[in-house]
Chains A and B, each alone.
Chain A
Amino acid sequence: MYQLKGVTKRYMRGKNPVDALAGVDLTIEDGGRLVIQGPTGGGKSTLLQMLGGLDRPTAGTIELDGVDLARLPESRLTKVRAESIGFVFQSFNLIPTLTAQENVETALVPLGLGARNRRERAAEELESVGLGDRPNHLPSEMSGGQQQRVAIARALVKRPKVLLADEPTGNLDESMRDEIMDLLDGLWKEHGLTFVMVTHDSSLARKAPRVATIRKGKVTVTENAAA
C-alpha cells in the first residue's frame, strides 16, 4: 500500500523553482488500479518517478508498505526497484543492442538468478505477452507494439508488487493501443498487482473506477462508482 503525504518535488529551471509536485497526498491500496490524468507538464511523470523510487521528493513522505522511499538509502532503494517495482515507459526504453529475450533478462540480473533460470523465466514471460516466437529479435526489428510488449514482459518478469506505466500507449498507433491496454489489464488481474498508469486517453479514464488528476502539481482523486 502506498501512502503519500505532502510530497513536493521542486525542480530548478534556471533560477526559477518549478514545483512539479506541490504537496501531494495520496493513498493507493494493494491490488488497486489508479489512472492518472492531467495536462502536459502537470506532474504526472514526476509522480510516477516518486512512486517507482526513481527519484526522491524535495519534501514529504512516500511510504510503500510502511517504508519511506524518500529516506531510504540508495542501496535499499535500488533493491526496492529491483524486486518490487515494474516500470513501463512511454518510449519503451529497450536496450537497442540486446534481443527481446535479453532485454527481459536484464530485469532479472539484479536478483542474482542463475543464467539458466533467467533464460527460462524470460522466455516464459515473453510467451505470456504473446512474443514467444521471436525471442531473438532486436528492438529495431520489431513494431512499436511488439517493443512495448517486450517492455511489459521485462517489467513483470520479476513478479513485482507494483506496476507503473507512464503513457504506455503514447507512442503507439491507434490500432495497437487497445491491444496493449487489454494486455496490461489482463496482467493486472492475473497477478494481483498494484497498478498505476498515466494516460491521456479520456475514454479510458472514464471507465476507470479511480482517477487522479494532476494540475500544476496538485492532485484531485475522483472515485467513479459507475465504472
Chain B
Amino acid sequence: MFFTYLRRELRRRRKAALVVASGLALGIALVIIVTSVSSGMSKAQDKVLESLYGLGTDMTVTKAAAAQGAGGTQRPRFEFDAKEDEDATQSTDRVMVQGFQTLASSTVGKVGEQAGVADAVGGLSLTVMKVDGQFKRGEFKQDESAGQGGPGGGQGGGGQPQGEVQGGGASFDVNSFTVYGTDVTQQDLGPLTSSQITKGRTFKATETDAEVAVVDSAYAKEKELAVGRTVTVSGTEYTVVGVSTADSGDAAANVYIPLKQAQTVADSKDKVTTVYVKAAGSQQIDTVKAAIQKNIPGTTVTTSADLADTVSGSLSTASDLAAGVGKWLSAAVLVAAFLVAGLLTSSAVSRRVREFGTLKALGWKSGRVTRQVIGEALVNGLMGGVLGIAAGLAGAYVVTAISPTLTAQLGSTGGGTGGGPMGGGGGRQTASRTLDIALTAPVSLSTVLGAVALAVAGGLIAGAFGGWRASRLRPADALRRVA
C-alpha cells in the first residue's frame, strides 16, 4: 500500500510535487555548477603551476634572495672589441643564469635526503642573449638616419644626422632565448615533464654531457629548427634530437640541453638554479618545506600553494569569486530551497488534515502516516536531484563549451616568495609571466554523488517538516472542517 499510495499521490498531485522538486533542483544545479567551475578554476591554476614546474613537482628550492646590489655587478655586459676591420660581423652570446642566483649541485642531494622527499632533481635555467651585428665605420653621408636597426634589433649608437662624420652606426640583432639544463638521468621531474615530445626523442639517460638539445615546438617553428639540425648556444652547436610541445601551450624554456652542458656554457660548474622536489605525499608538503628551510640554510622553498598565492589576473579574480560569492550564493539558495521544500510539504500536510485524520481513525499508526509523508518528500527530493543534476550538467557543459578565457599573471613583483623559477627576462624582478587559460567546468562523480546526497537531505528535511505535522494529527481531525 505504501508504494501504491505514494505513486498515486505523486501522480495526482504532480504540480505540488514539481514545485518542491524544482526548488530543490535549482539549489542542487547551482551547487553542481559552482563546484565544477571551482574545480575548473583550480585545474586551470594547476595547469598554470604545472607549466612552470612540470608535472608532479610539489615545491622548488631556490637560493634565498641575496641583498640588493649583489645582482648589480652581474648585469649583462656586452664587450665588443672595436676592431679596425671594416664591416666586421661580430657575434656574441651572453649567457646569464636566470635570477643570477645559484645553488651548489650538492644541495640537490641534501634536499633528497630530507624526510618526506620522494624525489629531488636539479636544473639550471639560463637566458641567452645573442647579439649578431656589424659595426659600421663612420661614413660621410647626408643620410638622415644613421642607424639601420635590423628587425627587432637594438640600435646602437644613435647617429646624429647632420651630414657629419660621426662615430658611425651599428646594426645589431639582439635575440634572447631561454635554455634549461635538465638532469637527463632523472627525467620524471622538472619542467620538461609538462611537455610532450612531438617529434624525435627525448634525452637518453646516458647523454649527461652530450651536445644534444630538445627544442620547444613554438621556438622551433620560429627559428626553423627541426630534428637533425643544430642550435648554437654560446658557440657550442647542439644537435636537435627532439621537439617538445608544452601541454599548456606555454613552454618553460625554448631550448633544453643536458645539465652539465648548461653548466659549462654558463660557466656555472656544479651549480643549479632550482631544485624540483616531489613530496612523498601531499599532506607532507608543509613539513617537507619546513625541514628543507631548517636544514639547508640559504634556500627559499616555494610550494605550489605559495605560487598559487601569487597568481593574479582574471583567473584569480574568478576563482576568488567562485570561492566566495559562488559558494555563499549556492549555499544560500540551497538553504532557501530546503526551507521552501519543508514549508511546502508542511502546508501540503495542512491541506490533507482530514485525509490523515481519517487514516488514523481507520487504525493507521501515526508512524505509518508519517512514513508516507516522508516517503513523498523523499521522492520529491530525488526528483529535484534528477532535475538539478540535469540542469547542473547542462550548465557545466555550457561553461565548458563557451570556455571563457582567463588570464593568469604569475609571480609577485615584490619577490616575497622569490617568484617563479623561470623568469621571463633576465632580472629577478621580472620573474612573472602571463598565461591564457580556457576555463572548463568538469563535473566529477563525487560532485554528482554529493548532489544526490543533497537531494536526499532536502527530501528528508522537507519530510521532517511534513512528517512532524502529520504525526501530531489526531484521529478526530478526520471530522475537522477544512476550507
Task: Write the residues of chain A forming the contact surface with B, with a CB cutoff of 8 angstroms.
Answer: 45, 49, 52-55, 74-75, 78-83, 85, 87, 89, 93, 95-98, 102, 105-107, 109-111, 115, 118, 154, 166
Our pick among B355, B365, B366 for the contact of A95 (Cβ within 8 Å) is B355
A103–B180 Cα distance when bound, in Å, is: 82
**Assuming the A-B contacts A78-B365, A81-B363, A82-B363, are A97 and B474 also in contact, with contact meaning beta carbons closer than 8 angstroms in the complex?**
no
Instruction: Find out whether the CB atom of A97 lies under 8 angstroms from the CB atom of B9.
Output: yes
Question: In the assembled complex, which residues on chain A have CB atoms less than 8 Å from the CB atom of B358?
Answer: 89, 93, 95
Within 8 Å of chain A (Cβ to Cβ): is B362?
yes
Instruction: Find out whether the CB atom of B479 lies under 8 angstroms from the CB atom of A97.
Output: no
Instruction: Find out whether the CB atom of A110 lies under 8 angstroms from the CB atom of B364.
Output: yes
Instruction: Find out whether the CB atom of A106 lies under 8 angstroms from the CB atom of B475.
Output: no
Chain B positions 222-253 with a Cβ under 8 Å from a chain A Cβ? none
Instruction: Find out whether the CB atom of B362 lies under 8 angstroms from the CB atom of A154.
Output: yes
Within 8 Å of chain A (Cβ to Cβ): is B197?
no
A85–B358 Cα distance when bound, in Å, is: 13
A-B contact count (CB 8 A): 86
Chain B positions 1-30 with a Cβ under 8 Å from a chain A Cβ? 1, 4-5, 8-9, 11-13
A119–B368 Cα distance when bound, in Å, is: 20
Our pick among A89, A98, A109 for the contact of B368 (Cβ within 8 Å) is A109
**Assuming the A-B contacts A78-B363, A82-B363, are A89 and B475 also in contact, with contact meaning beta carbons closer than 8 angstroms in the complex?**
no
- Having A55-B475, A55-B476, A96-B12, one finds 7 other A-B pairs with CB under 8 Å, namely A54-B478, A55-B474, A87-B361, A97-B13, A98-B4, A105-B1, A106-B362
Chain B positions 331-365 with a Cβ under 8 Å from a chain A Cβ? 354-355, 358-365
A105–B475 Cα distance when bound, in Å, is: 18
Question: In the assembled complex, which residues on chain B have CB atoms less than 8 Å from the CB atom of A52?
Answer: 361, 475
Question: In the assembled complex, which residues on chain A have CB atoms less than 8 Å from the CB atom of B475?
Answer: 49, 52-55, 81
Name the residue in B1, B4, B475 with the highest tally of chain A Cβ atoms < 10 Å from its Cβ: B475
User: Taking CB as reference atom, which chain A residue is nearest B475?
Assistant: A54
Chain B positions 422-471 with a Cβ under 8 Å from a chain A Cβ? none
Question: In the assembled complex, which residues on chain B have CB atoms less than 8 Å from the CB atom of A93?
Answer: 354-355, 358, 361, 478
Instruction: Find out whether the CB atom of B362 lies under 8 angstroms from the CB atom of A81.
Output: yes
Our pick among B1, B12, B366, B476 for the contact of A106 (Cβ within 8 Å) is B1
CB pairs A–B below 8 angstroms (26 shown):
A49-B476, A49-B479, A53-B475, A54-B476, A54-B478, A55-B476, A78-B365, A79-B363, A81-B360, A82-B363, A83-B363, A85-B363, A87-B478, A89-B358, A93-B354, A93-B358, A95-B5, A97-B8, A97-B13, A98-B5, A105-B1, A106-B1, A106-B359, A111-B363, A115-B1, A166-B479
A95–B7 Cα distance when bound, in Å, is: 13
A87–B362 Cα distance when bound, in Å, is: 8
A96–B363 Cα distance when bound, in Å, is: 18
Instruction: Find out whether the CB atom of A98 lies under 8 angstroms from the CB atom of B363.
Output: no
Name the residue in B12, B13, B355, B362 with the highest tally of chain A Cβ atoms < 10 Å from its Cβ: B362
Question: In the assembled complex, which residues on chain A have CB atoms less than 8 Å from the CB atom of B11?
Answer: 97
Question: In the assembled complex, which residues on chain A have CB atoms less than 8 Å from the CB atom of B368?
Answer: 109-110
Question: In the assembled complex, which residues on chain B have CB atoms less than 8 Å from the CB atom of A106?
Answer: 1, 359, 362, 364
Question: In the assembled complex, which residues on chain B have CB atoms less than 8 Å from the CB atom of A111?
Answer: 363
Question: In the assembled complex, which residues on chain B have CB atoms less than 8 Å from the CB atom of A49?
Answer: 475-476, 479
Question: In the assembled complex, which residues on chain A have CB atoms less than 8 Å from the CB atom of B361?
Answer: 52, 54, 81, 87, 93
Instruction: Find out whether the CB atom of B362 lies under 8 angstroms from the CB atom of A82.
Output: yes
Question: In the assembled complex, which residues on chain B have CB atoms less than 8 Å from the CB atom of A79?
Answer: 363
A80–B4 Cα distance when bound, in Å, is: 25
CB distance from B222 to the nearest CB of A (A): 74
CB distance from A52 to the nearest CB of B (A): 7
Ranked nearest first, the 9 interchain pairs of A and B with the lowest CB-CB distance are A82-B363, A54-B475, A55-B476, A81-B363, A110-B363, A97-B12, A97-B8, A93-B358, A54-B476
A107–B365 Cα distance when bound, in Å, is: 12
CB distance from B118 to the nearest CB of A (A): 62
User: Taking CB as reference atom, which chain A residue is nearest B9?
Assistant: A97
CB distance from B470 to the nearest CB of A (A): 14
Question: In the assembled complex, which residues on chain A have CB atoms less than 8 Å from the CB atom of B1?
Answer: 102, 105-106, 109, 115, 118
A83–B364 Cα distance when bound, in Å, is: 11
CB distance from A154 to the nearest CB of B (A): 7
User: Taking CB as reference atom, which chain B residue is nearest A158?
Assistant: B363
User: Taking CB as reference atom, which chain B residue is nearest A102?
Assistant: B4
Question: In the assembled complex, which residues on chain B have CB atoms less than 8 Å from the CB atom of A110?
Answer: 362-365, 368
CB distance from A208 to the nearest CB of B (A): 23
CB distance from B404 to the nearest CB of A (A): 48
CB distance from A136 to the nearest CB of B (A): 12
User: Taking CB as reference atom, which chain A residue is nearest B8?
Assistant: A97
A225–B478 Cα distance when bound, in Å, is: 36
CB distance from A101 to the nearest CB of B (A): 10
Our pick among A45, A107, A115, A166 for the contact of B362 (Cβ within 8 Å) is A107
A60–B248 Cα distance when bound, in Å, is: 86
User: Taking CB as reference atom, which chain B residue is nearest A160?
Assistant: B363
A114–B12 Cα distance when bound, in Å, is: 26
User: Taking CB as reference atom, which chain B residue is nearest A91?
Assistant: B354
CB distance from B4 to the nearest CB of A (A): 6
Instruction: Find out whether the CB atom of A98 lies under 8 angstroms from the CB atom of B8.
Output: yes
Encode contact with A along B361-395: 1 for CB under 8 Å, 0 otherwise: 11111101000000000000000000000000000
Question: In the assembled complex, which residues on chain A have CB atoms less than 8 Å from the CB atom of B5?
Answer: 95, 97-98, 102
Instruction: Find out whether the CB atom of B479 lies under 8 angstroms from the CB atom of A96.
Output: no
A7–B212 Cα distance when bound, in Å, is: 108
Question: In the assembled complex, which residues on chain A have CB atoms less than 8 Å from the CB atom of B12?
Answer: 96-97
Question: In the assembled complex, which residues on chain B have CB atoms less than 8 Å from the CB atom of A74?
Answer: 366
A49–B8 Cα distance when bound, in Å, is: 29
A165–B365 Cα distance when bound, in Å, is: 22
Instruction: Find out whether the CB atom of A45 lies under 8 angstroms from the CB atom of B363.
Output: no
CB distance from A81 to the nearest CB of B (A): 4
CB distance from A138 to the nearest CB of B (A): 8
User: Taking CB as reference atom, which chain B residue is nearest A49?
Assistant: B476
User: Taking CB as reference atom, which chain B residue is nearest A53?
Assistant: B475
Our pick among A81, A96, A107 for the contact of B355 (Cβ within 8 Å) is A96
